[in-house]
A and B are shown apart, each in its own frame.
Chain A
Amino acid sequence: MSGTMNITLKVWRQAGPTAPGGFEEYKAPGISPDMSFLEMLDVVNERLIEGGKDPIAFDHDCREGICGMCGLMINGSAHGPSKLTTTCQLHMRSFKDGDYITIEPWRAKAFPVLRDLVVDRGPLDRIIQAGGFVSVATGSPQDANALPIGKLEADEAMDAAACIGCGACVAACPNASVSLFTAAKISHLGLLPQGQPERYRRALHMVAQMDLEGFGGCTLFGECMEACPKGISIDFIKRMHGDYIWGAVTEKPEKVALGSG
């Protein structure tokens, strides 16, 4: 690939959870279009360190779109302009010479900023703790093939299970709702026979936990699905609502109030 680009970044800097934050501007000359977005930030950071400044903190690990650790608001879009692409898989060829790029952390009350672009996504784990599992202990379950599961159900469960827990759906949602993430887990397990015994209880508890964590309500805007790097369908949210309502009718109410503790 020929030629490099000169770009300008406007980046959210915040020294710590309680420190005031603000934008700072950085020139990033000589950027190769073959770099990934995070490699571009690596280069900017190397230069900052060499210039005696603090590098920009951002979360990342696998850099291949599967661990869900990375996630930036790039020019106002969660994970940037390319569809079905995590921040780490976004490449600089999606931008052009002279571009001005604004980079912010996920913005949501439930995801407080820890530093610069790093946020605390702990609530996502706590939603799973509230019921995002099948209660089966390690032991000797029956032979795997004793439980046939139709290919189509298995495929649909897999579609839901593909969620990487990045939180982009929350960041993209005008209400900062975590419904797509929660619905993906409820649907993954609820579509499979193994998940049936706890299906409605799971939905009740996980939905209760989302509310406890301070996420907003879902009004089916669909921004979450647009931003989701794994193409998780908003139909799963409808499914979650169905399971929740059925659970509210059939499960004992005091269990709902328990949350996950």
Chain B
Amino acid sequence: MKLDSKVPSGPVKDMWDKHRFEMKLVNPANKRKYHVIVVGSGLAGASAAASMSELGYNVSCFAYQDSPRRAHSIAAQGGINAAKNYRNDGDSIHRLFYDTVKGGDFRAREANVYRLAQVSVNIIDQCVAQGVPFAREYGGLLANRSFGGAQVSRTFYARGQTGQQLLLGAYQALEKEIARGGVKMYNRHEMLELVLVDGVARGIITRDMVTGAVEAHVADAVVLGTGGYGNVFYLSTNAKGCNVTATYRAYKKGAAFGNPCFTQIHPTCIPVAGDHQSKLTLMSESLRNDGRVWVPKRKEDCGKKPSEIAEEDRDYYLERKYPSFGNLSPRDISSRAAKEACDDGRGVGPGGRGVYLDFADAIKRLGAKEISERYGNLFEMYQRITDEDPYQVPMRIYPAVHYTMGGLWVDYNLMSTIPGLHVIGEANFSDHGANRLGASALMQGLADGYFVLPYTIGHYLASNKFEKVTADHPEFQAALEAVKTRTTRLLGVKGKRTVDSFHRELGKIMWEKCGMARNAAGLKQAIQEIPSLREEFWKNVNVPGSGGELNQSLEKAGRVADFMEFAELMCIDALHREESCGGHFREEYQEEGEAKRNDDQFCYVAAWEYAGDGQAPVLHKEPLEFENVHLATRSYK
């Protein structure tokens, strides 16, 4: 396997223009002869499917939910970045580029990030044209807010439902194309296998989640926009169905997996309430503008009511450790600080895994009314879940898995190491390096889908000849058989434990050993524990029902089986990266408690190649060069 990033030559600011001119075009009359499969209908998948259909391609789009509008992009709250500089506060394409590279702790490819910053401005124009109801000012122009890791105000938003409104924009464009006949939508269809013919991606195998039918779909190119794999931890802010299956199946067919260990832990989520917990809920980062984070100074005080703990007995640890950023320190740093306090025995709430986010000072300063105007909906959501009133008692929060920077490795054209397989949105390893800045995932998903892929896929199709292939081809038949065999195997174990109980146990291993802080000893242990859990899974899982019906246990079992394998790859990646960068914190590599990057040895993308079951994956390195943003240590003190 050779990693060729295909980054165009010349100055970074001219690359995309030059490349767009150099790429081959498909004659308008020929476009409809090409069939493209898009798996995923989130911001990335829906925008790509709609845009390609508008260009004239014949598109099939797949999603596991009952409607494309329900992809997990719908849950994004805060906003989307764009270098519009509407505030006249010094923003520019270059600054957004700079902030993203630095925020990612210098582990992203400059050329891609620059292009992302360039097209960010088109995204806002496109969304407004579709009728996305962004927040506005009285003068009628678009409003902005600020987000972490930036000194300018460049985040566009629609109340606390930015992801919902952007996705509905893309969804409506998609439905328009479905009505026109350009896109055929397959809801409640789960991709279970990628099919290669002569080494080139030519289709997928899906299971119809209502009838259980396993079907082959043939195409000239395949696009994966299947989202992130945060659910490998069982508990995360992802939707219950989010999975690694599509990307992991592609990995097993030869697509390199980039930086799988880079995961983002968000500092402000509602803590776990008990063993029954099924998912975690994010509380927007914006709360940290007015809330103060603290824990008791003494362990003995942890059981007391917060109101009984005197001011001098409280440790406002973010303000103490990071005086210049205080409660607004970046995500990775704030999360680790919360963990440290709890590890020290000073956490609050059930199980001692929580810290206070206290609004008492802000309420005193601004009044409850003002606080309610700023955060009313979040306070209500918090109260609905915890039954505690944050106007009266401090919120309890704890970090939770939120986003995965890792994903399938792609070149500048968003193509993986398998010719014809393109990967967009959170599913690729992309533009965020080792840490994603707030409001940048929505931007990337839409950049990929509206403005990058529709060009690069044309270049791919125009540059290659496609033999006619049908579902009778032996490769498709073999893949169909493989899926059916796997299903039969899962159903045939008839063991004693439920799928969820395995998933929970896997999540616990990952959270403890490959979570917020990692070390060689723990990772090595995890690499021992995961295979034996996997072995038990295949011997003792109980998947009721049959394959030929709507069977939610079977769906879960397939996903968990893939997580069981993928988790090991994450740990291997985390173990090999002997440095701390962004969300990847190795306890051995720190300086006075802060992450210590090692640019001499690790300034590269780790792209892992599958080498067979039971074989160690093969590491390939894409060296990263920083010609426009200079390598520097991030400091927030």
Contact = CB atoms under 8 A, between A and B. Distances in A.
Please determine whether chains A and B interact with each other in the same assembly. Answer: yes
A194 B278 CA distance: 41
For the complex of A and B, list the 10 residue pairs with the smallest distance between their C-beta atoms, beginning with the closest. A148-B140, A133-B172, A141-B129, A129-B179, A138-B51, A144-B128, A158-B133, A61-B239, A115-B550, A137-B54
A188 B454 CA distance: 28
A68 B126 contact: no
A35 B69 contact: no
Given A49-B544, A144-B125, A149-B140, A63 B131 contact: no
A60 B75 CA distance: 13
B69 A68 contact: yes
A157 B136 CA distance: 12
B74 interface: yes
Nearest to B548: A16
Nearest to A139: B126
B67 interface: yes
Interface in B263-303: 273-274, 276-279, 281-282
A189 B542 CA distance: 48
Nearest to B181: A261
A57 B129 contact: no
10 contacts: A39-B278, A62-B239, A69-B66, A85-B384, A133-B173, A137-B51, A143-B125, A150-B136, A164-B74, A188-B133
A115 B173 contact: no
Contacts of B176: 129, 133, 135
Interface in B359-401: 381, 384-387
A42 interface: yes
Given A133-B172, A138-B454, A42 B179 contact: no
Contacts of A114: 210, 550
Contacts of B137: 151
A213 interface: no
Interface string A76-114: 000000100100010101000000000000000000001
Contacts of A122: 66-67, 187
Contact of B141 (A32, A59, A148): A148
B75 to A, nearest CB: 5
Given A59-B66, A66-B161, A133-B172, A49 B542 contact: yes
Contacts of B133: 154, 157-158, 161, 188, 192
A68 B372 CA distance: 26
Interface string B25-61: 0000000000000000000000100110010000000
Given A62-B240, A93-B387, 11 more contacts: A34-B273, A34-B387, A42-B276, A64-B75, A68-B74, A69-B70, A133-B176, A137-B51, A140-B122, A144-B127, A164-B74
A129 B175 contact: yes
Given A62-B74, A114-B550, A125 B67 contact: yes
Contacts of B65: 61, 67, 69
A141 B123 CA distance: 10
Contacts of B138: 150-151
Interface in A145-161: 145, 147-151, 154-155, 157-158, 161
B16 to A, nearest CB: 14
A11 to B, nearest CB: 15
Nearest to A116: B550
A182 to B, nearest CB: 14
A46 B498 contact: yes
B462 interface: no
Interface of A: 1, 15-16, 32-36, 38-40, 42-43, 46, 49-50, 52-55, 57, 59-69, 82, 85, 89, 91, 93, 114-115, 118, 120-122, 124-125, 128-130, 132-145, 147-151, 154-155, 157-158, 161-162, 164-165, 188-189, 192, 194-195, 260-261
Nearest to A195: B131
Interface in B118-160: 122, 124-131, 133-142, 158-159
B75 A66 contact: yes
A191 to B, nearest CB: 9
A68 to B, nearest CB: 6
Contacts of A65: 381
Contacts of A147: 128
Contacts of A139: 126
A51 B74 CA distance: 36
A165 B544 contact: no
B477 to A, nearest CB: 28
B72 interface: yes
Contact of A129 (B75, B84, B178, B386): B178
Contacts of B273: 32, 34
B450 A62 contact: no
B70 A42 contact: no
Contacts of A89: 381, 384-385
B545 A54 contact: yes
A242 to B, nearest CB: 19
B540 interface: no
A134 B128 CA distance: 10
A198 B54 CA distance: 19
Given A67-B74, A68-B69, A124-B67, A194 B544 contact: no
Contact of B175 (A64, A132, A154, A261): A132
B173 A145 contact: no
B543 to A, nearest CB: 9
Residue of A32, A52, A129 most packed against chain B (CB within 10 A):
A129
Contact of A134 (B51, B122, B131, B282): B131
Residue of B135, B137, B239 most packed against chain A (CB within 10 A):
B239
B158 A62 contact: no
Given A91-B387, A157-B133, A138 B70 contact: no
B553 interface: yes
Given A66-B74, A133-B173, A134-B129, A144 B136 contact: no
Interface string B69-98: 110101100000000101000000000000
B66 A34 contact: no
A10 B137 CA distance: 50
A188 B178 contact: no
Contacts of B277: 39
Residue of A35, A125, A141 most packed against chain B (CB within 10 A):
A125
B136 A154 contact: yes
Given A85-B384, A154-B133, A144 B124 contact: yes
B241 interface: yes
A91 B450 contact: no
B552 interface: yes
B66 to A, nearest CB: 6
Nearest to A150: B140
Contacts of B74: 62, 66-68, 164
Contacts of A121: 66-67
Contacts of A38: 278
Interface string B157-190: 0110100110010011101101100000101000
B372 to A, nearest CB: 16
